[in-house]
Chains A and B, each alone.
Chain A
Amino acid sequence: MSAPLLDVRNVTMQFGGLKAVEGLSFQVQKGQLAGLIGPNGAGKTTVFNMLTGVYTPTLGEVAFESKKVSGLKPYEISSHGLTRTFQNIRLFKDLTVLENVLIANHQHVKYSWMDALLLNDSFQKEEKQITDKAKEILHIFGLSNKIDERSANLPYGEQRKLEIVRALMTEPKMILLDEPAAGMNHSETHSLMELIAKIRKEFNLTVLLIEHDMKLVMGICEQIFVLDHGVKIEEGAPEKIKSSKKVIEAYLGVDADESH
Chain B
Amino acid sequence: MEELLQHLINGLSLGSIYALIALGYTMVYGILQMINFAHSEVYMMGAFFAYYSAKFLNLSSSPGFGSLAIVLVITMVLCSVLGLAIEKFAYRPLRKAPKLNVLITAIGVSLFLQYFAQLVFGADPKVFPNLIEDQTLFSIAGAPIKSFDVTILVVSLVSMGVLHFLVYHTKLGKAMRAVSHNASVASILGVNVSRVIAYTFIIGSSLAGIGAILVGIKYQKIEPMMGTMIGLKAFVAAVLGGIGSIAGAVTGGLILGVSEILVVVYGSSQYRDALAFLILIFILLVKPAGMFGKNRIEKV
Contacts and interface: CB of A to CB of B under 8 A. Distances in A.
A and B touch in the complex (CB under 8 A): yes
Nearest to A90: B300
Nearest to B294: A16
Contacts of B300: 45, 49, 54, 86
Contacts, number: 5
A224 to B, nearest CB: 23
Chain A contact-residue range equals under 10
Q: Which 5 A-B pairs have the closest CB atoms?
A: A54-B300, A49-B300, A15-B297, A86-B300, A45-B300
Contacts of B297: 15
A41 B300 CA distance: 14
5 contacts: A15-B297, A45-B300, A49-B300, A54-B300, A86-B300
A54 B297 CA distance: 11
Interface in B192-246: none
Interface of A: 15, 45, 49, 54, 86
Interface in B268-300: 297, 300
B8 to A, nearest CB: 38
Contacts of A49: 300
B181 to A, nearest CB: 14
A49 B297 CA distance: 12
B296 to A, nearest CB: 11
A86 B298 CA distance: 14
Nearest to A15: B297
A93 to B, nearest CB: 12
Interface in B165-191: none
Contacts of A54: 300
Contacts of A15: 297
B182 to A, nearest CB: 15
Interface in B106-134: none
A123 to B, nearest CB: 33
Nearest to A84: B300
A45 B299 CA distance: 10
A86 B300 CA distance: 8
A87 to B, nearest CB: 9
A210 to B, nearest CB: 13
B295 to A, nearest CB: 10
A15 B297 CA distance: 9
Nearest to A87: B300
A45 B300 CA distance: 8
A49 B299 CA distance: 10
Interface in B234-266: none
B98 to A, nearest CB: 12
Nearest to B299: A88
A81 B300 CA distance: 20
B253 to A, nearest CB: 28
Contacts of A86: 300
Nearest to A54: B300
Contacts of A45: 300
Nearest to B298: A54
Nearest to A45: B300
A68 B17 CA distance: 53
A54 B298 CA distance: 10
A104 to B, nearest CB: 18
A86 B297 CA distance: 17
A120 to B, nearest CB: 37
Nearest to B295: A16
A49 B298 CA distance: 11
A150 to B, nearest CB: 17
A54 B300 CA distance: 8
A54 B299 CA distance: 10
